[in-house]
Chains A and B, each alone.
Chain A
């Protein structure tokens, strides 16, 4: 029987939610949480150990987390490494990608994870590890671990030529040398494509170039002391009654809140409704997320011309990219009308 190790976060280990997201890495023998689901779909290996790490610990102390986990792994034998599934949990997805990349590079062991296609971990790590497109939430646990297990068995059986399209994981961009069943050589295929292209017909490239969605850098503001600055935050800071009923996760709504004449955001007047981090500190002092207190100071000192009378807020956890773009589009007319020159955006 081969041996497998599984990486999961503090939530799936049953340690706790956001209040435990700083949990330092630990290793346990045997199965914990999602390991039970993975076990039923992984025939050729036993999950001997589970590594658990808080998402914030991995996100904010990455080097330290990797060093500790490295220490755990050096002491054990394993043939394959799994992480997640992470669903649409952004930090968890990035954590799974980070550790898979590290394990694959350091121990030369294949790694497999799963996350929703909108998880930022996909773009960041799809080249470094096998990532399966997964569900949005833990409701997809069984389905997602099944895909991971099946591929794990294939890898452990010694299959080395794994095609992304056929197996279903995100394209890694690894080129394989293979004998084609149709026996058509490259020169013929290239000329065929060229002829089709010249005739304006559809053709399928064998080397698709990934598209990067980049925006040109906006030119800097010339005179900060005359500029009007606006604050936008995805940290969920709103008036305590949440007048716009912004959702705690997967938000589709946003709000703008008047701060004219306010020296800072007071606790008890503002709070966070963000469902993706421990709210204790932000509720005690909302300025740690939307720093009106220091921006007001910069305004008094004349470093900035004026702080815009409103700040803009939504919740950025599980929020689809398309929704985020739409909400920004909806904020823009207000910013333009008020003559805002530049934006400070704070993410949690």
Chain B
């Protein structure tokens, strides 16, 4: 899917947990998520902490869309 969208000219960022799979299938902008069942949450954290985490990681993803990359790039997240 990511490749089809990108071929059509859309800048796209893939947020996912299994980074090696994403690089193998050919995603170019990648942001790591927390896990498979809850990519942007974590039931062990409080609601507030989860919201901060989600806000941060989606923010990294949005910023990646404005970043000029020449090859497959995994963007770093802080929380």
Bound complex: CA A234 to CA B16 (Å): 10
Beta-carbon nearest neighbor of A277 in chain B: B37
- Using CB atoms, name the residue of chain B closest to A60: B35
Q: Name 22 interchain pairs, CB-CB below 8 A, sorted by A.
A: A59-B18, A59-B36, A90-B21, A94-B20, A213-B3, A214-B26, A219-B68, A220-B65, A221-B66, A278-B37, A280-B37, A281-B38, A287-B40, A288-B40, A294-B51, A328-B4, A328-B5, A332-B8, A344-B13, A344-B65, A347-B33, A348-B17
Q: B7 near A327 (CB under 8 angstroms)? A: no
- Contact indicator B62/A220 (Cβ below 8 Å): no
Q: A288-B41, A345-B14 are in contact. Are A277 and B36 (CB under 8 A)?
A: yes
A67-107, CB under 8 A of B: which get 1 and which 0?
00000000000000000000000110010000000000000
Inside 8 A of A285's CB, which chain B residues have their CB?
A: 41
A328 CB, nearest partner CB in chain B, Å: 4
Contact A335 B10 (CB under 8 A): yes
Please tell me if A303 contacts chain B, counting CB pairs below 8 Å.
yes
Q: Contacts of A18 on B, CB cut-off 8 Å?
A: 37
| Chain A residues with a Cβ closer than 8 Å to the other chain, count | 66
Give the number of A-B contacts (CB < 8 Å).
178
Asked if A215 and B37 make an inter-chain contact with CB atoms under 8 angstroms apart, the answer reads no
- B21 adjacent to A342 (CB under 8 Å): no
A residues 218-264 with Cβ under 8 Å of B? 218-222, 224, 227, 229, 232, 234-235
Which of B3, B9, B14, B37 counts the most A-chain CB atoms under 10 A from its CB? B37
> In whole angstroms, what is the CA distance A310 to B17 when docked?
24
Is residue B74 contacting chain A, with contact meaning CB distance below 8 A?
no
A48 contacts chain B at the CB level, 8 A cutoff: no
Tell me which residues across on chain A come within 8 A of B62, comparing CB atoms.
Answer: 224, 229, 298, 303-304, 344
Q: Which residues of A contact B25 (CB under 8 A)?
A: 120, 123, 321
A186 within 8 A of B: no
Give complex CA distance A344, B61 in Å: 7
Q: Mark B40-79, 1 if CB is under 8 A from A, else 0.
A: 1101000000110011001101110111111100000000
What CA separation (Å) do A336 and B10 show in the bound complex? 9
Interface mask (A190-229 → B, CB under 8 Å = 1, otherwise 0): 0000000000000000000000111111111110100101
Q: Which of A212, A297, A336, A347 contacts B15 (CB under 8 A)? A: A347
Question: A91 contacts B18, CB within 8 Å?
Answer: yes
